[in-house]
C-alpha cells in the first residue's frame, strides 16, 4: 500500500512538473516602430556616459534586472514576466534606438520611464551602460 501511495505521489509530481515546464512561455516579441529603432544614440559611449548610466541603472533598474543585467534582481521573482538577460546576443543585437524606446515606453512588468527619467541624455547613458553587459 505504501508503495502505491509513493508511486502515485511520484506520478502526480512528475505530471505537475511537466505541466509547469510546458506552460513556461518564451518572451513575447516586443516590436519597436521603425523610426524609433533607427534613432541614433547622440551620446558618445565613453567612461563618463557609462558611469552616469550606471548611476541611473542602480537607481531604477538593478532591483529587477540585477547588478549585472542577468535578470536576477531582488524584485525579479515577484514579477509575472522574467526580466531579460541583457548579456545575451538577442538583447545586445538590438539597436540603441530600440532600447531607448523600450525604456521610455515600457510594457507589462517593465514600467515606462518617461516620467521617472525625464532627461533623454540620462536614458541614452543608460543604453550605453547596458552595452557593458556581455558574457
pLDDT tens for residues 74-117? 999 999 999 999 999 999 999 999 999 999 999 999 999 999 99
5 within some domain = no
For residue 13 the three cell numbers come to 509530481
Count other Cβ atoms within 10 Å, centred on residue 83. Answer: 21
14 within some domain = no
The pTM of the full predicted model, rounded to 2 decimals, is: 0.80
pLDDT tens for residues 126-135? 999 999 998 7
Pairwise CA distance, residues 134 & 7, whole Å: 45
20 within some domain = no
Question: CATH number, domain at 106?
Answer: 1.10.760.10
User: For residues 123 and 60, is the Cβ–Cβ distance under 8 A?
Assistant: no
Q: In terms of residue numbers, what domain contains 85?
A: 27-130
Amino acid at each position: 500500500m505504501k508503495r502505491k501511495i509513493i508511486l502515485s505521489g511520484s506520478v502526480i509530481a512528475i505530471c505537475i512538473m511537466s505541466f509547469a515546464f510546458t506552460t513556461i512561455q518564451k518572451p513575447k516579441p516586443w516590436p519597436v516602430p521603425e523610426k524609433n529603432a533607427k534613432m541614433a544614440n547622440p551620446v558618445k559611449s565613453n567612461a563618463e556616459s557609462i558611469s552616469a548610466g550606471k548611476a541611473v541603472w542602480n537607481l531604477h533598474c538593478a532591483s529587477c534586472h540585477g547588478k549585472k543585467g542577468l535578470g536576477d534582481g531582488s524584485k525579479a521573482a515577484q514579477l509575472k514576466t522574467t526580466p531579460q538577460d541583457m548579456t545575451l546576443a538577442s538583447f545586445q543585437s538590438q539597436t540603441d534606438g530600440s532600447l531607448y524606446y523600450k525604456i521610455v515606453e515600457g510594457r507589462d512588468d517593465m514600467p515606462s520611464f518617461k516620467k521617472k527619467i525625464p532627461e533623454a541624455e540620462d536614458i541614452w547613458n543608460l543604453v550605453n551602460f547596458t552595452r557593458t553587459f556581455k558574457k
